[in-house]
Amino acid sequence: MSGIASLSSSPISLRSRAAPAPRLRRFVISCRRTVRMSAAATTGSPALSFEGMAVKPPSHPTYDLEGVIKLALAEDAGDRGDVTCMATIPADMEVEAHFLAKEDGVVAGIALAEMVFHEVDPSLKVDWTKKDGDYIHKGLQFGRVSGRAYSVVVAERVVLNFMQRMSGIATLTKAMADAAHPARILETRKTAPVLRLVDKWAVLIGGGKNHRMGLFDMVMIKDNHISIAGGVTNAIRSVDTYLKQNNLQMEVEVETRTLEEVKEVLNYASETNTFLTRIMLDNMVVPLSNGDVDVSMLQEAVALINGKFDTEISMQQCCIFKSARVVRRLEMLFLKQYIELDKLV
């Protein structure tokens, strides 16, 4: 007997203002099951160590990756388990399932897939011909899992859901990272609840760089903080005081929306021993009605900063590829330069 199970995702697209929206082709993985009746036991793999991973997940002091996997499996199993498998699959049946790429793209989630399989059934054997971050092509068979049929089928959907989401993010990230080089692509905190570490892991696999993980690991002074504090200078001064009083050392970033704010930040920094490490230039790439972008404000802001601080450009996706060329043309990357994605997916 044999069968095919496949997963189709919604297309991930980058939308321009006037031209038709270019689309990132769907990244689809299917699982082909070749079934054989056997009562033979299989040898399980030991629990995974992050040390053996091609790309390690980002760190987080409280995030429970194993707990997220258990939650994903539990929402599928409910309070009864897989009633269809229990009704149709003999307990002694074994299968070998193959991972088949249905589109070109960056594969991501291999390490996480192994963790899911191990959580469902430690006796399952998993082998790969590719690793996280490799570019694979449609039709390539790049992995297999073998063992108890019930365990493979129960794990299959959760594994594919994680891998397809992560592969889509990694593929889009790589496209943007390649276009923006030598600037570096960052993501934001605008991730799916509970999946932040998974999403940010996929960004790393795709060649991007993680921004702050949450509210705890970096000071990021945004427009709301500036308004409440009574101005950008007051906001930075308050942060400097707080960090000094609490003996904390961490990166400090401030958002600027105008050239006047950039000048104010630089003036404060020139007169004070500040903790400030990075300046964000928020939406200073202005879309034009003809589909191009105006970067004159951005160019002037970068010239003002002149390498004194890490500089981050925040913009909508529709500007990324055009502005990436601008980044190279202006030679804005001397040591460190970042482009932040306002929306990744």
State how far the Cα of 27 lies from the Cα of 190, in Å rounded to an integer: 22
Q: Is the pLDDT of residue 247 over 50?
A: yes
> What is the structure's pLDDT at 119?
98
* Shared-domain flag, residues 302 and 153: no
Do 243 and 316 have their domain in common? yes
Range of the domain at 136: 2-164
Write down the pLDDT at residue 1: 32
Task: Select the more confidently predicted residue: 324 or 315.
Answer: 315
Structurally, how many domains does the chain consist of? 2
Query: pLDDT grade, residue 286 (50/70/90)?
Result: confident
> What distance in Å separates the CA atoms of residue 3 and residue 318, rounded to the nearest whole number?
41
Give dist(CA 302, CA 321) in Å, integer.
19
Q: Please check the confidence at residue 142 and state whether its pLDDT lies above 50.
A: yes
104 domain-assigned: yes
Q: Is residue 16 pLDDT above 90, yes or no?
A: no
Mean pLDDT of 110-129: 98
CA distance 131 to 345: 23
Q: Are both 155 and 265 inside the same structural domain? A: no
What is the distance between the alpha carbons of residues 256 and 19, in angstroms, rounded to a whole number?
A: 30
What is the 8-class DSSP label of residue 172?
Answer: H
Whether 123 has a pLDDT exceeding 60, the answer reads: yes
Q: Is 80 exceeded by the pLDDT of residue 208?
A: yes
pLDDT for the residue 290: 81
> Whole-model pTM?
0.81
On the question of pLDDT at 43 being above 90, the answer is: no
Residue-level pLDDT at 50:
66
Question: What average pLDDT score do residues 317-333 get?
Answer: 44
**Average pLDDT for residues 324-345, to the nearest whole number?**
43
Q: Which is more confidently placed, 202 or 4? A: 202
Rg (the chain; Cα; Å): 24
Do both 248 and 329 map to the same domain? yes
Give the end of a domain, one of 164, 179, 195: 164
Confidence of residue 30 (pLDDT cuts 50, 70, 90): low
- Domain end residue (candidates: 127, 142, 164): 164
Q: 209 in a domain, yes or no?
A: no
Q: Is residue 179 part of a domain?
A: no
**pLDDT, tens digit, 9 for 90 and up, residues 146-164:** 999 999 999 999 999 999 9
Residues 34, 153, single domain; the answer is yes
Exposed / middle / buried, residue 9 (Cβ in 10 Å: 0-12, 13-18, 19+)? middle
49-57 average pLDDT score: 81
Supply the CATH number for residue 49's domain.
Answer: 3.90.1170.20
Q: How confident is the model at residue 293 (pLDDT cuts 50, 70, 90)?
A: confident
The residue with greater pLDDT, 318 or 174, is 174
Contacts of 234 (CB under 8 A, 6+ apart): none
- pLDDT for 121 equals 98
Distance CA(239)–CA(274), nearest Å, equals 9
Domain-located, residue 233? yes
| 44-48, 149-153, 168-172: segment of lowest average pLDDT | 44-48
Q: Kindly indicate the confidence band of residue 181, based on its pLDDT and cuts at 50, 70 and 90.
A: confident
Residue with the larger pLDDT of the pair 178 and 198? 198
Active site residues: 157, 190, 222, 255, 282
Q: Is the pLDDT of residue 5 over 50?
A: no
Q: What value does the mean pLDDT of the chain take? A: 82
Q: What CATH number does residue 229 fall under?
A: 3.20.20.70
Domain end position, chosen among 127, 144, 164:
164
150 and 284 both lie in a single domain: no
**How much is the pLDDT for 51?**
65
Tell me the pLDDT band of 7, cut-offs 50, 70 and 90. very low
What's the rounded Cα separation, in Å, for the pair 282 and 54?
34
Per-residue pLDDT averaged across 277-304, rounded? 86
- 204 within domain boundaries: no
Query: How many CA atoms within 13 Å lie on the side-chain side of 165?
Result: 16
Position 332 scores a pLDDT of 36
pLDDT of residue 28: 52
Q: Is the pLDDT of residue 331 over 80?
A: no
pLDDT tens string 213-235: 999 999 999 999 999 999 999 99
Same domain? For 255 and 123 the reply is no
Amino acid (1-letter code) at residue 104: D
Burial label for 156, CB within 10 Å (0-12, 13-18, 19+), is buried
Name the band, by pLDDT with cuts 50, 70 and 90, for residue 313.
confident
CB 44 within 8 A of CB 123: yes
Tell me the helices (H) and strands (E) count for the chain, helix number first. 10, 17
- Which candidate, 206, 171, 168, 167, places its Cα nearest to that of 186? 206
